[in-house]
Structure 1
């Protein structure tokens, strides 16, 4: 994929996430995609931070949207090459301190097959 295609996926990802359009967000992912997050590891220790498949991601993100209605990601940097896009953003929630986040999306055949979150 071209860097422009990868960045387009990232922009659509942010738009869907920030608008809490869960099905639109999930449509960017492969059916068997994997998602890793330190927040997931804390909230659901049995997962060891990893969920696999759209159903598991749907449950995880719906819970986040329900618990944190003001959750918003502010993009600070996108770097795309090969089959990955590296996203840097600020996690913002009213009454919480902003958190710096980096996330890597691995893309194959136009779908995200893996996403991995890193917190600052």
Structure 2
């Protein structure tokens, strides 16, 4: 399956995150998306770090933004695979993060936030 244009997707994704526009970020995701993240495990402990569905993802991200009001991403690099993008960025605390996004068509079906230990 083709992967969306990496530069255009990353620009829109980063702009939406830096604007704290959760709805604009969610526009890139399928309704039945699965998203994993150690941050989700901390912010919503009952999730076990796995968020299923767009509604739950919205709730997670809105909760996370309340905990992290200074959230900001600076893209370091982007890697493209088949139906896959990896966005390497630096967060507001200077930490390096990889967002691994698996696509089904133009929308993300599965995402994984990965962090340095």
Give the TM-score normalised by the residue count of structure 1: 0.88
Match of residue 5 from structure 2: 5
CA contact (8 A) 2:43 2:63 kept: no
CA contact (8 A) 1:106 1:115 kept: yes
Match of residue 91 from structure 1: 91
Match of residue 109 from structure 2: 113
Match of residue 100 from structure 1: 96
Aligned partners of 1:35 and 1:9: how far apart in 2?
A: 18
Cα deviation for residue 50 of structure 1 reads: 0.5
Q: Extract unaligned runs of 5+ from structure 1.
A: none
Cα deviation for residue 8 of structure 1 reads: 2.1
CA contact (8 A) 1:6 1:84 kept: no
SS in 2 for 1:9: helix
Q: List 4+ stretches of structure 1 deviating above 3 A.
A: none
Cα deviation for residue 12 of structure 1 reads: 1.4
Aligned partners of 2:39 and 2:109: how far apart in 1?
A: 20
Cα deviation for residue 13 of structure 1 reads: 1.2
Q: Over the residues paired in the alignment, what is the CA RMSD in angstroms?
A: 1.4
Matched, 1:33 2:33: yes
Matched, 1:82 2:82: yes
CA contact (8 A) 2:101 2:110 kept: yes
SS in 2 for 1:69: coil
Give the TM-score normalised by the residue count of structure 2: 0.90
Distance 1:66 1:42, change over 3 A: closer
